[in-house]
Homo-oligomer: A and B are copies of this chain.
Amino acid sequence: METNKKRSECPLSCSLDVFGDKWSLLIIRDLLFFKKGTYNDFLKSEEGIATNILASRLKALEENGIIEKSAHPESKAKNLYRLSKKGIDLLPIIMEIYIWSDKYFNMPQEIKEIIKEAKNDKDKFVKQIIKELTAE
């Protein structure tokens, strides 16, 4: 995936050049909500991303400053991927996607509950997630 060719100066278009594909936001979702952080964590997600695609997306997200790669504190064999500030700031976008989904898709009751809570006080929800992420 090419990371350096802008189609236009439109901010929306530039943003889509960064995360406008079927996989990037799912990786970011895993980082935001499911405490995932290693290559294998992402591979195991239920959507079943192919290993080469995962590698290319992680590389692109890193090059675009959305995630940061570091050594895993518990094992030399592992790497740890974390969201940068820029990546964490994608949370409001993802929340709005969830809120839209809630209106137009069926989904498990448990997820519905979480969305309800998030919708009720968006700022509080965002702050809570950020707190959890930065506490680690």
Residues of A within 8 A of B (CB): 7-17, 20-22, 25-26, 29, 46-48, 86, 89-90, 92-105, 107-108, 111, 115
Known: A7-B48, A10-B29, A12-B26. 15 other contacts (CB 8 A): A7-B22, A7-B46, A9-B107, A10-B47, A11-B101, A11-B111, A12-B94, A12-B98, A15-B97, A15-B100, A17-B22, A20-B21, A21-B21, A89-B100, A89-B104
- Cross-chain contact A22 with B20 (CB below 8 angstroms): yes
Q: How far is the CA of A93 from the CA of B95 in the complex (A)?
A: 8
Known A22-B17, A25-B20: A93·B96 in contact at CB below 8 Å: yes
- Cross-chain contact A100 with B93 (CB below 8 angstroms): yes
- Cross-chain contact A7 with B92 (CB below 8 angstroms): no
Q: What is the total number of copies of this protein in its complex?
A: 2
Chain B nearest CB: distance from A42 CB in Å?
A: 13
Known A20-B21, A20-B22, A22-B16: A96·B92 in contact at CB below 8 Å: yes
- Cross-chain contact A11 with B107 (CB below 8 angstroms): yes
Q: How far is the CA of A95 from the CA of B100 in the complex (A)?
A: 13
A115 nearest in chain B by CB position = B11
- Cross-chain contact A102 with B25 (CB below 8 angstroms): no
Known A21-B21, A22-B17: A97·B7 in contact at CB below 8 Å: no
